[in-house]
Structure 1
């Protein structure tokens, strides 16, 4: 089993970070059939061939994904796409708040 780990600092605060992770998890559920549930500030998710967790804090998020045998060869592409999506979401949030929230 192959593992992907992505950790990022952020300035969202806990509530906004949880809301963003929830939004992403709901989209992944709808698009790929992944189930998820919260345990405290950790969102656990799984579907055939993939499972993991996102731990959310006031100033950071830590994503760990375990890929099944069939998805292991795609690890570089999956990791690159996840990293890009996380960075884009954090940058979008930061830009909205840098201009006084006018981006809403």
Structure 2
């Protein structure tokens, strides 16, 4: 499996981080049929092509995702999109 790890500092607070993680999870669920749930401050997600978690903190969001063999060729593109999304969130 290919792994994507992204950490992004932000100054928006825990509630904003959780809200942004929820929006991202809803988008992943819609596009890729992933299921997700909250466990404390960590959003866990799983689908046929990927699984992982996004941890929300007062000043940081961290994402750890494993891609299946099928999605491995798209790792760079997926990682770029995640970086772009979290960069936009952190700069708000």
**Dislocated runs of 4+, deviation >6 Å:** none
How many pairs align?
Answer: 92
Query: Structure 2 regions of 5+ residues with no counterpart?
Result: none
TM-score of the superposed pair, with normalisation by structure 2? 0.93
Q: Is the aligned partner of 1:87 residue 2:83?
A: no
Deviation per residue, 1:55-92 (Å, 9 max, x gap): 1100001100100011112111111111111111222x
d(CA) in 1 for partners of 2:61 and 2:11?
10
TM-score (norm 1): 0.83
Deviation at 1:12, TM superposition (A): 1.1
Report the Cα distance in structure 1 between the residues aligned to 2:75 and 2:5, rounded to whole angstroms. 11
Structure 1 gaps of 5+ residues are: 94-104
Which residue is 1:7 aligned to?
7
Q: CA deviation at 1:32?
A: 2.1
The Cα RMSD (Å) is 1.0
Higher relative contact order (CA 8 A, sep 6+): 2
- Aligned equivalents of 2:51, 2:78: Cα separation in 1: 13
